[in-house]
Chain A
Amino acid sequence: MTWLRDVLVDLAGDSPQVDLAERTIMIRDRRRRTAISLVAAAMVVVTALGVTVAARLLPPGPDDAASVSDLPAKGVGPLSHAVRTYCRPASGRAPEDCRDGEWRLVTRDGRTYRVPDALPGLVPGRTGLRDSPLAISRDGGKIAYYGAEEETFVVRDLASGRRTTAPAKVPKEWLYSRTRLMLSDDGRYVTFMKNPQFKDPGLIFDLRAGAVRELPNGWVPAGLSPDGGTLTLSQYAPRSMLRTIPRLWTTSGGGTSVTLPQDYEFSPLAPDGRSIAAVERYFARDFPCPRLGNLVVLDARTGVKLRSVIVQGLDAGVTSLSLRTWLGPEEVTALAESVPCDLEAYHEGPDEEAEQLDQPYRTLTAYAVNVETGRARKLTTYTAQDFFEIVLPGAV
């Protein structure tokens, strides 16, 4: 096989050097200009028909559609979670009074608030790429988000109303691809990253000291030591990796990373500060839909597998898990969804310039999973458009 591969590699070496980006953009723009006039004429008819059909056929919408009001200046109780809304789901209906790209905070006693000073995310496929993140502290009492006016991250204590602004502005243009925000338990540190990375850096802010430090991008923040000195990062794609950056504020080094021999979906750093849970994911190479494997516990510094258990007690048909908040030293929250992987839609999905629809709202079930035994117990359900549009306290 090596012989034939060598010949083919040799042949492929004759392929032309090209740079097709600019030409592709130019062709797309030219076609779009031609299409716009045709679309405008058709729009009137389609809109009228669409309203009629939608009213008749669409299933019930999300249960988070309770009345929503602006976040009061202070006196708000701890949060249960936050959900981001996009308002043109491909099926079903959007929440009442939906606003595109807006985070809705849901308190433990069921009140729902919007954050009017947070920059909304832009709608994928309709108006741009901006992904404006939000994080909730482990106790549910503080949030971090990108302040539209401040043009940087803001931490807000929900009970006292105290707002603290990060000491450096972050260009709005840096909010793209999948952004991640992590807020330390005490609200002092905010870590910002994104994946896939393109070129600008990740950042960590110390809001008390007024300091900022650049970080390697393309990672997911997994945990920060209580003194703010050691950062743990995970990376799920294209290779699963773990990284530890010690002495964050006294050195500029990138720390040490370990590449793992397996694809994983990681939890945040465990309460012991040393280990991290993960669900094994088996990919046929280059395909977006993994098959789930065991739940493992890894040493976050070395990647060494400490435990591996089969998850038991999930509803039948669960297709993917997202590990979130640790509930104790042995229990981690797992959000589960049961959406069959639609390769057809992924590979030959609708042309977004023609369709421009958002993900349908779906039910995500939260389980507490014991990392020692693999036993899962059901906690609650949420309604969101996908894992990326829901945030739980103490987890990215």
Chain B
Amino acid sequence: MDRNDSFREFVAGHQQALMRTAYLLTGDPHLAEDLLQSVLLKVLRRWSRLSRVERPEAYARKALVNQYISWRRPRRAGAELSTAAPPERPYSSEDATIVRVVMRQALMRLPPRQRAVIVLRYYEDRTERETAELLGCSVGTVKSQAHYALARLRELAPELAPRLAELETDVREGQR
């Protein structure tokens, strides 16, 4: 087996999970693919070392999140907006399809670091400490970013505000 073979196996085993995170971060399939592609290139350039460490995917995941936050490339106009629009009328927060559209739009309007905190804390289910280490910031920053992100989501999706408020209450109680 040469280094390319083992890299191929690594990619086969981890690219979909990384892609899902990249998609939630960028909100756009093409940008997600670009982001993951550039991260995999970084991984490949270090592969002979990374293939010998216990958790090569850890490197890839951290690189993905940080590259996303520091991305300077111009984002395509409208790329972050869903083509599906939520209905004009009031809707029930029990309607899964509409909730999804609304959440997607709201999520994509968050600043990158807040979006990353939401994805890491609530999608990847990471602890505040793990999130802080991935983002290279303090636990306090993660807490405040999560608080601001949830507050902003409540503003952006008022129909979901009660559920988001419950969520923040749960988080605060969990911290006690």
- Chain A residues with CB under 8 Å of chain B are 1, 3-5, 7-25, 27-28, 124-125, 128-129, 131, 173-174, 176-178, 196, 198-200, 236-238, 284-288, 343, 346-347, 349, 351-353, 388
Whether A16 lies near B49 (C-beta < 8 A) is no
Whether B11 lies near A24 (C-beta < 8 A) is yes
Whether B122 lies near A1 (C-beta < 8 A) is yes
Whether A125 lies near B49 (C-beta < 8 A) is yes
Q: How large is the interface on B (under 10, 10 to 19, 20 to 34, 35 or more residues)?
A: 35 or more
B151 sits at the interface (CB 8 A): no
Whether A10 lies near B100 (C-beta < 8 A) is yes
7 closest A-B pairs (Cβ-Cβ)? A15-B23, A237-B54, A286-B58, A12-B20, A21-B11, A8-B123, A16-B29
Contacts of B62 in A (CB 8 A): 286, 347
Q: A16 to B32, alpha carbons, bound, how many Å?
A: 9
Least CB distance from B173 to A in Å reads 11
Least CB distance from B83 to A in Å reads 11
**Would you give the 0/1 interface string for B16-34, flagging 1 where the beta carbon is closer than 8 Å to chain A?**
1001111110000100110
Please judge, given known A-B contacts A20-B15, A284-B130, whether A28 and B33 are in contact too, CB under 8 Å.
Answer: no
Please judge, given known A-B contacts A3-B163, A24-B37, whether A353 and B133 are in contact too, CB under 8 Å.
Answer: no
Residue from B1, B107, B122, B134 within 8 A of A176 (CB atoms): B1
Whether B5 lies near A198 (C-beta < 8 A) is yes
Whether B19 lies near A18 (C-beta < 8 A) is yes
Given contact pairs A15-B20, A19-B15, A196-B51, a sample of 17 additional A-B residue pairs in the complex whose CB atoms are under 8 Å apart: A1-B167, A8-B123, A12-B23, A16-B23, A16-B29, A18-B15, A19-B12, A20-B15, A21-B7, A24-B7, A24-B44, A28-B41, A124-B49, A176-B6, A284-B130, A286-B57, A351-B45
Q: A346 to B49, alpha carbons, bound, how many Å?
A: 10
23 A-B pairs with C-beta separation under 8 A: A4-B118, A5-B125, A8-B103, A8-B118, A10-B96, A11-B24, A12-B20, A13-B20, A15-B23, A17-B16, A22-B8, A24-B44, A28-B41, A124-B49, A125-B48, A176-B6, A285-B126, A286-B55, A286-B61, A288-B53, A288-B54, A346-B53, A352-B48
Least CB distance from A25 to B in Å reads 5
Least CB distance from A295 to B in Å reads 20
Residue from A5, A25, A129, A288 within 8 A of B44 (CB atoms): A25
Least CB distance from A222 to B in Å reads 17
- Chain B residues with CB under 8 Å of chain A are 1-9, 11-12, 15-16, 19-24, 29, 32-33, 36-37, 40-41, 44-46, 48-49, 51-59, 61-63, 96, 99-100, 103-104, 107, 118-119, 122-123, 125-127, 129-130, 133-134, 163-164, 167, 170-171
Whether B44 lies near A28 (C-beta < 8 A) is yes
- A9 to B, closest residue via Cβ: B123
Residue from A236, A284, A349 within 8 A of B133 (CB atoms): A284
Q: A28 to B82, alpha carbons, bound, how many Å?
A: 33
Whether B122 lies near A4 (C-beta < 8 A) is yes
Whether A238 lies near B55 (C-beta < 8 A) is yes
Least CB distance from B121 to A in Å reads 8
Residue from B11, B21, B54, B123 within 8 A of A20 (CB atoms): B11
Contacts of A18 in B (CB 8 A): 15-16, 19, 33, 36
Q: A3 to B150, alpha carbons, bound, how many Å?
A: 13
Whether B6 lies near A236 (C-beta < 8 A) is no
Whether A199 lies near B49 (C-beta < 8 A) is no
Residue from B100, B126, B129 within 8 A of A7 (CB atoms): B100
Whether A8 lies near B122 (C-beta < 8 A) is yes
Contacts of B21 in A (CB 8 A): 12
Contacts of B133 in A (CB 8 A): 284, 287, 343
Contacts of A198 in B (CB 8 A): 1, 5-6, 9
Whether B59 lies near A236 (C-beta < 8 A) is no
- A31 to B, closest residue via Cβ: B41
Whether B5 lies near A12 (C-beta < 8 A) is no
Contacts of A173 in B (CB 8 A): 1-2
Residue from A16, A129, A174, A285 within 8 A of B19 (CB atoms): A16
Residue from B2, B104, B130 within 8 A of A129 (CB atoms): B2
Least CB distance from A132 to B in Å reads 13
